[in-house]
Chain A
Amino acid sequence: MSHQPLAISHISGRGLPLRGHDIDTDRIMPARFLRAVSFEGLETHVFEDDRAADPAHPFNDPRYTGAAILLVNANFGCGSSREHAPQGLARAGIRALVGESFSEIFRGNAAMIGLPCFEAERASVERLQALIEAEPNAVIEVDLTTGRLHTRALGSDVVLSATLPAALREAFLTGQWNQTAMLLDRFEEVQTVADRLPYIRGF
């Protein structure tokens, strides 16, 4: 939440494969944990109901303790706009997501707190998930400047494309992802637009 630009150009860490399409934010952070006036402590409730229902859930699996890169499938984070979902993941140590696709609101919310959601081809994501399941200690590196993801697992190097929408990539690379100050930068222009709108000016 600092005014200082905090550029993110490179992320590395171990992976956490979480399989399934259309995983919604109610599952990432069940609604009862939104009954609070701060985001503190949300890390303990990430996927709480799914974890209780499935002892083998990846977030219960000690092999993935300390993982920083969440590997998901298509339309991750659909549903509710609750920022509590990416907040919980970030507070649980997740620093990037790689998936086939993301819900727009989720990806925007994640970006606002410095958590990039990279898109990769379906086959690449599935291959990466399988590799990490086989070798959970492999380190994944993502380079925002080149849009390349690298890992070395099962004795060979794997390189694949992991991309962000151009504006988000730029925002991370220049440290402008926390944008309030930027939106306030030329406030007179905001006022000009407001004054021009008939419903603000008066019909």
Chain B
Amino acid sequence: MAEALFHKVWNAHTVRRLPSGQTQLFIGLHLVHEVTTPQAFDMLRRHGWSVRFPNRTFATIDHIVPTSTQRRPFLDVMAEEMASSLERNCRDAGIPLWTPDDEQQGIVHVIGPDLGLTQPGMTIACGDSHTSTHGALGAIAFGIGTSQVRDVLASQCLALDPLKVRRIEVNGRLTRGVFAKDVILTIIRRLGVQGGVGYAYEYGGSLIDAMTMEERMTVCNMSIEGGARVGYVNPDRTTFAFLRGRPFAPEGGAFDRAVKWWTSMASDRDASYDDRAVFDADGIEPTVTWGINPGQSVGIDEPIAAERDDEALEFMGFRPGEYVAGTRIDVAFIGSCTNGRLSDLEAAAAVLRGHRVAPHVKALVVPGSKSVRKAAEARGLDRVFTAAGFEWRGAGCSMCLGMNPDRLEGRQICASSSNRNFKGRMGSPTGRTLLMSPAMVAAAAIAGEVVDVRTMLEGAPA
């Protein structure tokens, strides 16, 4: 029977049907970080349970690390306690851990794919909602809470209900100045922030097929913002080329055998889906959010619609009919698990070359991992950023979630390449976030206000 990847992976990992009717699903890769796990390790100790598959478990420190100086001990005593707690737990359980002292450290959703830990056909879990990112490689990846982290540590399994699958096709080509971020913001805007509840999103169509792995990661990353816990792209030649040679990827003949299995896990051509949605890439514009959830966005040339959310408008200080373009910004942030990869930094640098950040704007760029930082430096991107007036920081989650020293103050407005514009998300209860692509953030940093990046790209009419 023709099946979608979701069902093939689900079936291959099903242990049994539990008495409640849920499925006991084996988790092939468990990624761990400092924020959502200390209580889980405590529960294990209290019950006398051990970590059953330490060799399928990998850890990093990302959320709480400062990005200005990463010297230990961290100045924030709570951050230091969380880091040392994870170090202790990983040492006791035999779990590999990348700390800020290691070359591989970075945001969990950046390093998983980059190290080749994330592979097609796997089930993956991590105590973080943006785990959906790993679906870009054709894995089924679940964001989970701390009690479920305990379950995966203790049993390498989760008790879950199956999801329905919605096929989202994006066909055509993106016009200049339009990026993967604009694609996913457009999808969420149309299908809604609740539209994906109960679904896994399978992204396909000619645009997704033509995307690089990093672009696919940006799209899958924000599935959860559309309510879908899981998002994925079927593995193809782009996926296999990306994985070849990565530290944890199979080598030689094993790689070729892996490609066979990975290919067999992709959705069958005539697979049936519970729902479908089709998008035309050519019509997608540089997109910015105006509200307090990621579905509240407009194209840069478009006014905020009259059908409105008073709470969001009041919080953000917008009125229906207004344009987000022209909004003065205080902070520009480039980074996060959504857009903190090398190609994101390259796209921003391409806009910044030869320009200066507006004097009133505080601008920072935070690579998603130490390896991304190093690769960017090898290409001279750090010099482009610093020459333009951006701060070149160490790897971490940074401003995306206000759990480290990088935060908004008061009602500051931030042009951000991150994933959430929730009230208070960037660390100030009244701080405001405008989500957009890294290139759009760079353009806003130069202009000091939100602008259409297309007017700033090389070759644009003066």
* Inter-subunit contact B76/A35 (CB<8 Å): yes
Q: Mark A150-174 against chain B: 1 for CB-CB distance below 8 A, else 0.
A: 0000000000000001111011001
| Given known contacts A82-B36, A180-B150, A104 and B425 CB-to-CB distance under 8 angstroms | no
| Given known contacts A1-B43, A53-B430, A184 and B197 CB-to-CB distance under 8 angstroms | no
| Given known contacts A183-B24, A183-B154, A184-B155, A82 and B145 CB-to-CB distance under 8 angstroms | yes
* Inter-subunit contact B20/A197 (CB<8 Å): no
Complex CA–CA separation, A80 to B419 (angstroms): 11
Residues of B within 8 A of A176 (CB): 18-20
Residues of A within 8 A of B20 (CB): 167-168, 170-171, 174, 176, 179
> Which residue on chain A has the smallest CB distance to residue B260?
A203
* Inter-subunit contact A32/B148 (CB<8 Å): no
Complex CA–CA separation, A109 to B160 (angstroms): 12
How many A-B contacts if CB must be within 8 Å? 208
* Inter-subunit contact B129/A80 (CB<8 Å): yes
The stretch from A9-17, A23-31, A129-137, A139-147 touching chain B is A23-31
* Inter-subunit contact B64/A35 (CB<8 Å): yes
> Which residue on chain A has the smallest CB distance to residue B157?
A183
Shortest distance in angstroms between A103's beta carbon and chain B's nearest beta carbon? 7
Q: Which of B38, B159, B258 contacts A179 (CB 8 A)?
A: B159
The stretch from A55-63, A64-72, A120-128, A186-194 touching chain B is A186-194
Residues of B within 8 A of A184 (CB): 49, 154-155
Residues of B within 8 A of A112 (CB): 145, 147-148
Interface size class of A (residues with CB under 8 A): 35 or more
Q: Which of B24, B36, B193, B429 contacts A22 (CB 8 A)?
A: B193
Q: Which of A30, A83, A190 contacts B155 (CB 8 A)?
A: A190
A18 in the interface (beta carbon within 8 A): no
Q: Is the interface of A mostly helix, strand, loop or mixed?
A: helix
B residues lining the A interface (CB < 8 Å): 12-16, 18-22, 24, 26, 28, 35-36, 38-39, 42-43, 46-47, 49, 52-53, 56, 63-64, 76, 78-79, 81-82, 85, 119, 121-122, 127-129, 131, 143-148, 150-151, 154-159, 161, 193-194, 197-198, 224-225, 227, 229, 250, 254-255, 257-258, 261, 293, 311, 401-403, 420, 422-425, 427, 429-430
Q: Beyond the given A30-B429, A37-B39, A182-B18, could you list 18 further A-B residue pairs with CB under 8 A, ordered by the A residue number?
A: A30-B402, A32-B402, A37-B38, A53-B429, A78-B194, A81-B36, A83-B145, A105-B224, A108-B144, A170-B20, A171-B22, A179-B20, A180-B47, A180-B155, A183-B155, A190-B157, A199-B121, A199-B258
- 24 A-B residue pairings within 8 Å (CB atoms): A30-B424, A31-B402, A32-B403, A35-B76, A35-B78, A37-B38, A49-B424, A78-B194, A84-B146, A105-B143, A105-B144, A105-B229, A108-B144, A109-B145, A176-B20, A179-B159, A182-B19, A183-B157, A184-B155, A186-B15, A189-B16, A193-B13, A193-B26, A197-B28
